[in-house]
């Protein structure tokens, strides 16, 4: 009887050991989300790009329906598509390291736009890579990033914050088509920081902030664009974001946004000189004609 008991224990240990080793081999702080419609070759391509092996990390699948749940009604069908292709790598970083973003084959959403939206969603201290095996808009990648972050941390992000983050990404992307990608990211970041600093929820004050910051950046907005940003910021104001967290989380990519402000200021001087030259020319022409 004792022999049977001993052999039972040995057999159980033999069976459990490989499972334990497998669990130890998986890095709990790295999660990859793959588009559900990628074929085997494309999945391997994504894992190679992310620099991970299939048995080293947790891998999730994101469907087109999951992407649509957040994006439908915010953006055109052409940018959502009918297949889930966008993939994401999320690695948790130490407290205070902020958000790092890389993109590959993403054509419409910049890393600055992603970073802004990630902060709104409640994501912090993470290295993020948004990628696809071929060129895509990148709007759907945010769904995979949020899903991977929740899996890595074991914490569910606020559903309202996730919805607003997707709206912010789309709004910024649409602005970028008219005023430039870097300019749009800088504009939304500065407006969001000012609203968080003042802790205002008043629509009139938010509108004033939008108009003033756009003017400071020498960005011309239509009335429709102003209204769109105001509506977005009203929703963001209800999330009670912390201004230090907004600034701190995207500190590593904020340099490029500061460069945008610098270029805008320089362009102001150039534009002023051009206008003065035109004005002087017409003054000379008027004098010439008597």
Residue 281, pLDDT above cutoff 60: no
Residue 278 lies in a domain: no
Residue 274 lies in a domain: no
The pLDDT score that the predictor gives to residue 173 is 95
Phi first, then psi, for residue 134 (nearest 5°) are -150, 175
Question: pTM of the full predicted structure?
Answer: 0.79
Classify 96 in phi/psi space as left (phi over 0), alpha (psi -120 to 50) or beta: left
Q: Between 256 and 249, whose confidence is greater?
A: 249
- Taking residues 277-282, what's their average pLDDT? 56
Residue 277 lies in a domain: no
User: Among 226-230, 236-240, 246-250, 265-269, which is the least confidently predicted range?
Assistant: 265-269
Rg (CA), the chain: 25
Pairing of strands 27-35, 87-92: antiparallel
Residue 11 lies in a domain: no
The pLDDT score that the predictor gives to residue 254 is 62
Residue 37 lies in a domain: yes
Is the distance from CB of 126 to CB of 147 less than 8 angstroms?
no
The pLDDT score that the predictor gives to residue 144 is 96
Q: How far apart are CA 74 and CA 239, in angstroms?
A: 20
Residue 118, pLDDT above cutoff 60: yes
Classify 221 in phi/psi space as left (phi over 0), alpha (psi -120 to 50) or beta: beta
Residue 46 lies in a domain: yes
List C-alpha distances in Å: 268 to 119, 151, 179, 239, 262.
31, 46, 15, 35, 10
> What number of other Cβ atoms are within 10 A of residue 45's Cβ?
17
**pLDDT-derived band of residue 2, with 50, 70 and 90 as boundaries?**
very low
Q: Which domain holds residue 141?
A: 27-264
Q: How far apart are CA 245 and CA 247, in angstroms?
A: 5
Residue 19 lies in a domain: no
**Nearest of 69, 59, 56, 61 to residue 86 by alpha carbon:** 61
Residue 218 lies in a domain: yes
The pLDDT score that the predictor gives to residue 76 is 80
Tell me which DSSP letter residue 151 carries: H
Give the count of domains, the chain. Answer: 1
The pLDDT score that the predictor gives to residue 75 is 81
Mean predicted lDDT score pLDDT of the chain:
85
Residue 212, pLDDT above cutoff 90: yes
């Amino acid at each position: 009887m004792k022999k049977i008991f001993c052999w039972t224990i040995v057999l159980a240990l033999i069976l459990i050991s490989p499972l334990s080793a497998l669990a130890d081999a998986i890095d709990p702080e790295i999660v990859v989300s793959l588009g559900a419609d990628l074929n085997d070759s494309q999945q391997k391509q994504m894992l190679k790009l992310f620099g991970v092996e299939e048995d080293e990390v947790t891998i999730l699948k994101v469907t087109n329906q999951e992407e649509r749940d957040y994006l439908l009604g915010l953006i055109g069908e052409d940018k959502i598509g009918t297949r889930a292709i966008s993939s994401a790598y999320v690695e948790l970083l130490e407290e205070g390291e902020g958000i790092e973003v890389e993109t590959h084959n993403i054509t419409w959403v910049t890393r600055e736009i992603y970073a802004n939206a990630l902060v709104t969603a409640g994501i912090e201290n993470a290295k993020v890579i948004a990628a696809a095996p071929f060129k895509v808009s990148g709007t759907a990648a945010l769904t995979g990033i949020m899903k991977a972050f929740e899996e890595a941390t074991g914490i569910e992000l606020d559903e309202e914050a996730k919805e607003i983050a997707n709206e912010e990404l789309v709004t910024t992307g649409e602005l970028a088509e008219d005023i430039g990608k870097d300019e749009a990211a800088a504009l939304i970041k500065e407006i969001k920081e000012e609203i968080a600093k003042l802790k205002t929820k008043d629509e009139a004050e938010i509108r004033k902030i939008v108009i003033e910051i756009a003017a400071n950046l020498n960005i011309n907005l239509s009335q429709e664009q102003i209204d769109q940003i105001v509506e977005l910021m009203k929703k963001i104001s209800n999330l009670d974001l912390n201004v230090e967290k907004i600034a701190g989380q995207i500190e590593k990519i904020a340099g490029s946004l500061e460069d945008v402000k610098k270029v805008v200021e320089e362009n102001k001087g150039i534009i002023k000189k051009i206008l003065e030259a035109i004005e002087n020319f017409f003054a000379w022409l008027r004098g010439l004609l008597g």
